[in-house]
Amino acid sequence: LKLSQSRKIISANMTAMEEAFSKKDPEEIQNKLTNELKNINTFKDIKIIQSNELFNNSGNFHLKDTDYIKTGIKGLDDKIFGMLNSEVIVLAARPSVGKTACALTIARDVAEKYEVLFFSMEMPKIFITIRLLANQSNLNAYRIQHNMLDTWERNALDKAASELCNFKFNLVEKAGITAEQIDNISRRYYEQKGIKLVIVDYLQIMRDTSKENRDIRIGYNMKILKGIAMDLHIPVLVLSRYRDWE
């Protein structure tokens, strides 16, 4: 559909150029081009919702269980009830206080039931794997990382690995990924797997080729992430340095 619309726009502009070179009346050319472009409907996927659809719910205006996903962290869920579909949730903290660890805990709990897509731009997959194993097995990540496990711990690790194999956790490990790439991968994977949560680690190191200042770039990237949440009707969890939200 979009390709067809693009062709119509190109054709209309090419015709206008040919008429301009043939020295036809500029005002007539402009009016004709404007009318042709207006007739190309590029908003077919936008639905206008009327009042009777918004309010004719027989009093059922509360959120349903399907409207949000629990984080799996009880104290957090008690306060925010969970991550609401179509929302971008910012998990902000100062460096080295456990943002990724918290995000992986949420990812692991959600991935037990639903497809989760995790974008890691800083932490390599081996450390992601170790942290998930430590979380699942309740073992010390340092001992796993340096192969310091005794027989009981190794059995617990093998059991955790076997359990995690059945989880629906999907990792994209790429430094310097752009917001547009995250958008493209998320939408494509949504069509294939029906993902229920996207996690981005983290906002400030997303690559941006523009020369705008940092605040404008962050705003632009957040707009794209919000588009993912709105269009796919899923929550998007974004990690961020705290000082950018002070």
CA distance 219 to 227: 12
Share above pLDDT 70 across residues of the chain, in percent, rounded to a whole number: 92
**Which stretch of 32-36, 55-59, 70-74 has the lowest confidence by average pLDDT?**
55-59
pLDDT of residue 58 exceeding 70: no
Q: Is 244's pLDDT higher than 60? A: no
pLDDT band for position 212 (50/70/90)?
Answer: low
Q: Which H helix or E strand runs over 21? A: helix 2-21
Q: Comparing 159 with 11, which gets the higher pLDDT?
A: 159
pTM tops 0.85, yes or no: no
- Give the separation between CA 151 and CA 144, rounded to whole angstroms: 12
pLDDT of residue 110: 93
Is the per-residue pLDDT at 245 higher than 90?
Answer: no
> Comparing 191 with 56, which gets the higher pLDDT?
191
Residue 210 token pair: 């523009």
Confidence of residue 109 (pLDDT cuts 50, 70, 90): very high
- Average pLDDT of 38-46? 66
- Which span out of 5-19, 69-83, 115-129, 231-245 was modeled with the highest average pLDDT? 115-129
Mean model confidence pLDDT for the chain: 84
CA distance 204 to 212: 14
At residue 180, does pLDDT exceed 80? Answer: yes
pLDDT at 77 over 70: yes
The answer to whether 116 and 194 are in contact (CB under 8 A) is: no
Residue ranges of E strands in the chain: 68-69, 83-84, 88-93, 116-120, 169-173, 197-201, 236-241
Query: Does position 13 have pLDDT exceeding 70, yes or no?
Result: yes
Residues 114, 69 contacting (CB under 8 angstroms): yes
